[in-house]
Structure 1
């Protein structure tokens, strides 16, 4: 044993804000980022070494436990990834435990080794071939398995199909009739790196100058934005870029928003390139993840397509990082560590000294602001999409003037009937339509209240307490059920079941298909003369054909919401849906929008001027009122299991923040009116919005809060979460 003893700070794979000290008494020095086994609460558990120092016997130390054993002789993360993790913990004012807990797969948390598990196959022995099989007739399962083994070897997949247990094979092994045969894992890809040159851009193309500029900055940090593109034009640009990067034996990390896009891009790359391609996501098994981590450490050129889980995966010879659809809200991760994936990727690429490509046809206003400041280089692949937007027919229906049968106006019903007669399909987008109006049900029999004159569904005005018919404009002040004559009622917002009933009443013999996460392309048959109902997040999964009418039922919710970012989100949703339809069909179709905001300036510019002009107008408005990205907003979230503890903490923190706001004129804060309850996780939380001109000034304020209230928070078990890149819609009212 070595004379020098170390005190090691160990982090457990539990989402808690604590590290534990242990004595390290081994021949080798402790490795930061290496895993060890320790005794924690009478159980052996796996942890990671965060730091170490030499043990001083003269100092009065608390009696510490010893580290039980070492798992790894190397750090799990490389130098660049470890630096990004440390920087993230400082930037987000978050414990390193939560960051590592998010970025590490399950096999590392369990303490499994990085060695690839060898695949095995059950095969028959010589004795098994020579023996008379009729001897095993008393044990029919053994008889059946041996007869299968005489035909072919059996692997794990075939075992599940035949419903044969491992116990039967163990019994046959004891009789020396079969045995395990191990095989090494081999990745199946073509060794000859052939490329389909017909798919790529020509050397004389205009976009080659952008590719050459990116390639010249391969060893330096630089950010690029690709906008105004269709899917296949975007792929052509990527493949031309990949062709040059992979020649230098570098790896490419391609991050996508969902598994559907991952598989779609992977299949397109496989068709045109024969370099090794790896997909990494949360649904992979532990054995496959181990194989991926080992393959990423090799020097050969490869393409890695991953979801947000692959941000902290260590990759050797990483050449470039690509973030697809950078405006997607799924990159926003909420929890004990709230962060935006884009900012983490930029941090990693800064330490790795490699370029980053952000792709979006509808980029965030913060990225467009950085483009104006020349911090991000902009690449426009094609202008075809702008011409498509201009040529589309748009019909706006004013809700104030029109008559309605339930959710549908009479002019909209005419358009739907016309398209159904011509055997066309129709798509209804129902994002935000639940806020259209309130309808009333009977308390006992669930009868929907209708007008006495025209027998159409009535709208309930909550503030006035009146029932208004949206067809004949008749006003009723009293409610009485026709069937059970009950006077009690319940009001609720529009939902999908209400919408489907309404469609069946108006349009007879039409096929209604509701698209959600449970359905797949294989299970759905697409007919002519059918109505598809979907939200934006499920629409990309399906290939819809022969659609000539796209309907937005109600969009006022996004413009009337108290958060100023909601208009930006709707503009991204609106143009991404249109782009998705243009990529699928390349044909003209009508767009109908039901709204009260026909004469609104913002709404007009969004619909008619295109996303680029609309985003420029929004930036001007935000500059006028000093809103992000011209100022910085951060959310300070207080969490606790008990409500009175938050109230007690607010008595001290509010006057403390008022003193800071008097000293610093550019700083202001806004508190929410209520303490909110998280129903599923069963804890209370309270939001405070901070605003300042610089991030440095906001960080100073956060540090002051942690200094003054650290002991108070730990004693009362109150958790603080600093959301610095706040882009989500939060509730203050």
Structure 2
């Protein structure tokens, strides 16, 4: 045998994060030429079992590195990218997230990619550009206000403009297609231009008051390093103006700004604020976009073309080559916590990303979370306070109405009805808040007290009357027709008990027939563009009653609202979740903040059966900050988060005994392994024990040592997954925000 035969040939291989529910990355072989072109952070097509999947290269293994000869490597199917599409810092962020939240890294990597890239589609998608071809088309579109508006905008761009920019300007694709049918414009597919637009000012900043100026100057001193700031500003105190003035300086340096907002509903007004202030590319990233628009926006961000990236929670993982500032508005909002699958918290990921990128992070809120106050107390975050409302606006006065003694009509106190009438007669607007959609929360038989319960959940059906009469479970989605008699005793009289937004709308229309009632909830805003239409209507200075759920409470500017009526907040005062009181206080303050934001003074009336409740009295007689201080003391004494670190195990199957036996057995093992440094609560039935026909049990793990909690949890959790019955579903929630 020749000596050359003994020389082992180099084996070219890469390590790939594959989107499967396994906690490892996997090695694949490839040719020498492919190896030379492969880049860490690029996509690769691979075969995994019987599936063809798109993975991310996380490591190029040296050709001479030892290899277990008993294990045969699979070859990759194809290199999908010539260049890395996830940079080194984003890969580090994703790897940290997978480790911290104890979730498979291959699945986590997918969080950073738009759907088309996850599906293996080519990176260089063609962009849709619209060109005006008929410059004298006014007569063809005189009946359509939207088409006229789109036509005017197209005339401003004689060489054509991208569909993405037109959408940001309020022109919908359906309107462009209608113009195309009339021969007024045409759509052209072209290579995308990724060169950034130089930033210029479209509008000069407002004059900052002393609190605003202090906050702006403090952040700008730290703009080239990591520092976390909590912008704690009263509702209407001008937090957005502080963001804008800081952003202006960051954008001047050629840097990008990432702005996260809790929900899609807040993005249209935020975009208009940014567009009126800055001339630059803005990328919009949220779940309401179709796949191609999201892909184009993501590419504009990833290539550096977009200077401002505005998105909801998942935008935190977008690759940005020149990131200079992260802003997370309404940081207390529960929407920043992912509640299914990969359960990350965008606020905490934003802080870690700021550290990796060495840029400042601003968390803004009128009602900061107890977690943020605790970080500030530990010196890990700097508090910047805004203590006065912008302009001449003053904080509204709050009044508590005792429902036990009040005279009522349609569930609304007569005193409140009178106050609403006064405001409407003055041509002002009123906001009526009820955090319960539908017509009524309970349908009951007046003869035998039978209640319409969901057959799959431990919950009552909610009565809905639109678009037709039906019963709807808001937990599992089951819909039943409305019964015409009691199924238990055959009695013909069934009564709707309690109030939902639809029932209150009916009552308000009856009480104030001469005024428009504008309802804002998930049911009334489910159609594309419906929320924007409602928002535009509210901005007109006409007397109206705005009625809605917490969609109306978040960050909106309603200058003509002078009265806020909160109809029912009592359920939040009785919840088993230790955070429920905090959430209720935040909701009250946020809703309160919609009143008196213009030139006229505002008032807030809160109906309750518990007027003596200490929370309500602290908010009325003191303020939210005082409430937060008292809540922090209580949490510290009880050793509850954030003074201990928590993990929540959710277990779900068709048999509750199987759940509790399984968790009990493994809880005992964890106690022994961890030397009792982990306090284990449970297993106990979940607050809603049965949901969608399956039983749920919970187990909460608490420890003052976060590192050791995560260390023991890592191995124990994977052992739990390995040994669970096939029909059982398990989930792990690190730093849970809800116990339901």
Residues 1:10 and 2:6 aligned together:
no
Counterpart contact for 1:117–1:287, Cα < 8 Å:
no
Aligned in 2, Cα 1:602/1:388: closer, same or farther, shift over 3 Å? Answer: farther
The two structures have a TM-score, normalised by structure 2, of 0.75
**CA deviation map 1:117-174 (0-9, x unaligned):** 25589999xxxxxxxxxxxxxxxxxxxxxxxxxxx99999799437879xxxxxxxxx
The equivalent residue for 2:704 is 693
SS of match in other structure, 1:339: coil
Whether 1:669 and 2:681 are equivalent positions in the alignment is yes
> Pairwise mapping of residues 684-723 of structure 1 onto structure 2 (< 5 A)?
684-706=695-717, 709=720, 711-713=722-724, 716=726, 718=728, 720-723=730-733
Q: In terms of mean alpha carbon deviation, does 40-49 or 396-405 score higher?
A: 40-49
Return the alpha-carbon distance in structure 1 between the equivalents of residues 392 and 377 of structure 2: 24
2:663 corresponds in structure 1 to: 650
Counterpart among 321, 327, 333 of residue 332 in structure 2: 327
Query: Are 1:257 and 1:330, in contact at CA under 8 Å, matched by a contact in 2?
Result: yes
CA-CA distance at 1:606 after TM superposition: 1.4
CA contact (8 A) 1:637 1:687 kept: yes
Distance 1:242 1:154 in 2: 26
- What is the aligned partner in structure 1 of residue 110 from structure 2? 101
Q: Cα distance 1:188–1:381, how it changes in 2: closer, same or farther (>3 A)?
A: farther
Pairwise CA distance, 1:355:
1.4
TM-score, structure 1 length as denominator? Answer: 0.76
Distance 1:633 1:503, change over 3 A: same
C-alpha distance in structure 2 between counterparts of 1:154 and 1:207, whole Å: 37
Q: Aligned partners of 2:677 and 2:68: how far apart in 1? A: 48
**CA deviation profile, 1:625-659 (whole Å, cap 9, x unmatched):** 22222222321223457767534523412433554
1:200–1:240 Cα contact (<8 Å) kept: no
- Per the alignment, residue 141 of structure 2 pairs with none
Q: Please, which of 390, 393, 400 is the counterpart of residue 396 of structure 1? A: 400
Q: How far is the alpha carbon of 1:31 from its aligned partner?
A: 3.5
Asked whether the equivalents of residues 225 and 378 of structure 1 are also in contact (C-alpha less than 8 Å), the reply is yes
Distance in 2 (alpha carbons) for counterparts of 1:86 and 1:447: 49
How far apart, CA to CA, are the structure 2 residues paired with 1:547 and 1:631?
Answer: 41
SS in 2 for 1:620: helix
Q: Contact 1:326 / 1:359 at 8 angstroms: preserved in 2?
A: yes
Q: Is the CA contact (8 Å cut-off) linking 2:19 and 2:106 kept in structure 1?
A: yes
Q: How does 1:624-635 map to 2 (within 5 A)?
A: 624-635=637-648
2:622 to 609, 616, 619: 609
- CA separation of 1:296 and 1:279: change in aligned 2, threshold 3 A: same
Q: Is the 8 A contact 2:520 2:551 kept in 1?
A: no
**Residue 362 of structure 1: CA displacement?**
1.1
Q: RMSD value over aligned CA atoms?
A: 4.4
1:34 to 27, 42, 48: 42
Greater Cα shift, 496-505 or 688-697:
496-505
Q: CA deviation at 1:349?
A: 1.3
Report what 1:128 is aligned to. none
SS at match of 1:591: strand
- Alpha-carbon distance in structure 2 between the residues aligned to 1:154 and 1:393: 49
CA shift for structure 1 position 684? 4.9
CA change 1:581–1:436 in 2 (3 A) is same
- The corresponding residue for 1:130 is none
Deviates further, 303-312 or 84-93 = 303-312
In structure 2, the residue matched to 1:255 is: 260
- Distance in 1, matches of 2:216 and 2:543, equals 46
1:532 alignment partner in structure 2: 546
Write the distance in 2 (CA, Å) between the matches of 1:634 and 1:68: 39
- Within 5 Å, give how 1:465-544 maps onto structure 2: 486=491, 492-503=497-508, 511-516=516-521, 517-518=525-526, 519-520=530-531, 522=533, 530-538=544-552
The offset of 1:381, in angstroms, is 3.5
Q: Is the 8 A contact 1:7 1:55 kept in 2?
A: no
* Cα distance, 1:33 vs structure 2: 2.7
Deviations 1:278-304 (A, max 9, x none): 333334454444544444455678222
Distance of aligned partners of 1:311 and 1:495 in 2 relative to their CA distance in 1, 3 Å threshold: same
How many residue pairs end up in the alignment?
Answer: 648
Q: Which residue does 1:68 correspond to in 2?
A: 77
Structure ID, larger Rg:
1
Quote the offset at 1:217 in angstroms. 2.9
Tell me the CA shift for residue 513 of structure 1.
Answer: 3.3
Alignment partner, residue 273 of structure 2:
268
Structure 1 gap segments, 5+ residues each: 125-151, 166-178, 449-479
Within 2, Cα distance between the matches of 1:718 and 1:230? 45
Alignment counterpart, residue 593 of structure 1, candidates 578, 582, 606: 606
Ranges in structure 2 where 5+ consecutive residues have no aligned partner: 1-7, 134-158, 164-172, 453-484
Q: Does 1:620 align with 2:628?
A: no
